[in-house]
Chains A and B, each alone.
Chain A
């Protein structure tokens, strides 16, 4: 199990790197190839979880964390584009690791869309939040993630990446006829929303990540989950 996990992680990192570098090599079918690559890096984790043996307590804990991530938008309804969903996913991933972080991220997307309505953005949201959880889990034992500054930098970065990703549903729908200038235009239009997301991630992580990590950790050790 541990070995297959390592291989999976190395593979997915390689794929992500590829995703960033290959437009330098082939630029013609960028969109289609990157979609394929996304699928390839995403599905193994989906599959891996669906075959994983979990106790009912572990399963319920994942469900609660995913549901809280989705519900966490509610008290912030009066503050535009501020929602702690990403924060909840990161905090949970830091305690529970990459696989669980991924599951909680994907679940948060599925659940919030089941209530707010599925849209063309659903798969992108699943991917984006899943990967945010996965990477946060991967980096959890590094100095970077242990240090508050590193955590905040991560939150800021993924805030923007998340926004860019979410624009993709839009770009892909127009796959046949869109040009780079237009893509840039659409991306700049979402800049302020993405900035708000990134900044709120930083603030939440700075003020609350230690407390949340403590709570989740306490619960995990109290009932001996995910060991």
Chain B
């Protein structure tokens, strides 16, 4: 697993960053703010894995975005600027802008989560979780460990039963569904019995005798504190911008211009700074490696 660039930070710092950015997307209802946000996230995805992970989600994201872009103006008829008529219905400029903002918010939030899954990997997530509730974390870890085991067993059951003439890929839907459930049932029975051994191995290693400690795989370094301070400062600034309504475009009663004015520039600069932070970290890493390779 990678431990350089953005991955070198403490998971709590990573989480704080993502929380702040998600709040940013929900609060900053302004097309320019949102577009800037989506743009930066796209570049970030390109930097971390050349957008591979993003590609697997692209169909879902695009479908949702188009769905909102098209349907919002059709159903939202509030506003003062009629653009044209569609099947006898007015289509408003406000509604179109709103559609764009909704779509951008949605795309932004999904992009944030896709990169979050790459940056805060399973073990980091469970580490964070363990700090909040050890019992929940332990239970989740157990379940996470069982998933590949159960999948393997389920595959074996499917293979064996296929030779016996029970299949989940051939036959009527009724048959397939029934066979699928029979396989799960066999998996349940077998796995419950086998789980006694797992439980015994836990008890034999002292589980439940005293309070557990938790191995601290991550420590807060100086750079983590700096990064956290930066995130909190820019984050507060962002919320302040929302409170002043500088990072919000008002549609009703009067449509505000999308052009940025005066103070709004300050807040967009702040938002950019926040978004550019991981880009800078990753970009630095990429440049450094290029440089090293050339030297060698």
Q: Do chains A and B touch in the complex (CB under 8 A)?
A: yes
Chain B residues within an 8 Å CB radius of A215: 185, 188-189, 192
B29 lies within 8 A of A177 (CB)? yes
Q: Does B122 contact A (CB under 8 A)?
A: yes
Stretch binding the partner chain, chosen from B103-111, B213-221, B231-239, B260-268: B103-111
Stretch binding the partner chain, chosen from B81-89, B131-139, B270-278, B282-290: B131-139
Q: Does B229 contact A (CB under 8 A)?
A: no
B146 lies within 8 A of A67 (CB)? yes
Please report whether the interface of chain A is mostly helix, strand, loop or mixed according to DSSP. Answer: helix
CB-CB contacts of B177-215 with A at 8 A, as 1s and 0s? 111110111011101110110111011000110000000
**Separation in Å of the A126 CB from the closest CB of chain B?**
11
Chain A residues within an 8 Å CB radius of B109: 120, 173
Which residues of chain A (172-187) have a CB below 8 Å from chain B? 173-179, 181-182, 185
**Separation in Å of the B194 CB from the closest CB of chain A?**
9
Contact of B191 among A68, A75, A119 (CB under 8 A): A68
Interface residues of B (CB under 8 A from A): 22, 25-27, 29, 67, 71-72, 75-76, 78, 98, 101-102, 105-106, 109-110, 113-114, 116-117, 122, 125, 133-136, 138-140, 142-144, 146-147, 150-151, 154, 158, 168-169, 173, 176-181, 183-185, 187-189, 191-193, 195-196, 198-200, 202-203, 207-208, 248, 251
B125 lies within 8 A of A177 (CB)? no
Chain A residues within an 8 Å CB radius of B198: 60
Can you name the residue of chain A whose Cβ is closest to the Cβ of B113? A119
B26 lies within 8 A of A173 (CB)? yes
Known A64-B191, A74-B154; contact A110-B140, beta-carbon cutoff 8 A: yes
CB-CB contacts of A61-105 with B at 8 A, as 1s and 0s? 111101110111011101100101000100000000000000100
Q: Does A221 contact B (CB under 8 A)?
A: no
**Separation in Å of the B171 CB from the closest CB of chain A?**
11
A185 lies within 8 A of B75 (CB)? yes
Known A56-B207, A75-B168; contact A61-B110, beta-carbon cutoff 8 A: no
Chain A residues within an 8 Å CB radius of B187: 68, 71
Can you name the residue of chain B whose Cβ is closest to the Cβ of A120? B109
CB-CB contacts of A25-65 with B at 8 A, as 1s and 0s? 00000000000000000000011011111111101111110
Q: Does A107 contact B (CB under 8 A)?
A: yes
B151 lies within 8 A of A71 (CB)? yes
CB-CB contacts of A184-227 with B at 8 A, as 1s and 0s? 01000100000000000001100110011001100100010000
Contact of B71 among A66, A179, A185 (CB under 8 A): A185
Contact of A117 among B25, B117, B169, B202 (CB under 8 A): B117
Measured between alpha carbons, how far is A63 from B202 in the docked complex, in Å? Answer: 13
